[in-house]
Homo-oligomer: A and B are copies of this chain.
Amino acid sequence: MRPVALLTDFGLADHYVGVLHAVIEREAPGAVRIDLGHGLQAGDIWDACFQLRCAWPHLPADCVVMAVVDPGVGTGRRAVAVTIGTRSLVAPDNGIATAVLEASAAVVLEWRRMGLDQPSKTFHGRGLFAPAAARLACGADSRNFGEEIAINALVACPLPDPVVTSSVVEGVILHIDGFGNLVTNVRGDEVESSAMATWHAGRTSRRVETYGDAQPDEVVLIEGSAGYLELAVNCGSAADATALERGDTVVFSKGDD
- Chain A residues in the interface with B (C-beta under 8 A): 3, 5, 7, 10-19, 21-23, 25-26, 29-30, 32, 34-40, 42-43, 51-52, 54-55, 58-61, 63, 71-75, 120-123, 126, 177-179, 209-212, 222-225, 234-235
A234 to B37, CA, bound (A): 23
Find out whether the CB atom of B211 lies under 8 angstroms from the CB atom of A15: no
Find out whether the CB atom of B225 lies under 8 angstroms from the CB atom of A123: yes
User: Which residues of chain B have C-beta atoms less than 8 A from A222's C-beta?
Assistant: 121-122
User: Which residues of chain B have C-beta atoms less than 8 A from A122's C-beta?
Assistant: 210-211, 222-225
Known: A58-B126, A75-B211; 6 extra A-B contacts, CB below 8 A, are A11-B39, A15-B55, A19-B54, A26-B60, A73-B211, A120-B225
Q: A34-B21, A71-B235, A225-B120 are in contact. Are A51 and B14 (CB under 8 A)?
A: yes
Find out whether the CB atom of B12 lies under 8 angstroms from the CB atom of A209: no
Q: A5-B18, A51-B14, A235-B43 are in contact. Are A26 and B209 (CB under 8 A)?
A: no
User: Which residues of chain B have C-beta atoms less than 8 A from A39's C-beta?
Assistant: 11-14
- Closest 6 pairs between A and B when the two form their complex, measured CB to CB: A74-B210, A123-B225, A18-B36, A75-B212, A11-B178, A13-B39
User: Which residues of chain B have C-beta atoms less than 8 A from A209's C-beta?
Assistant: 74, 121
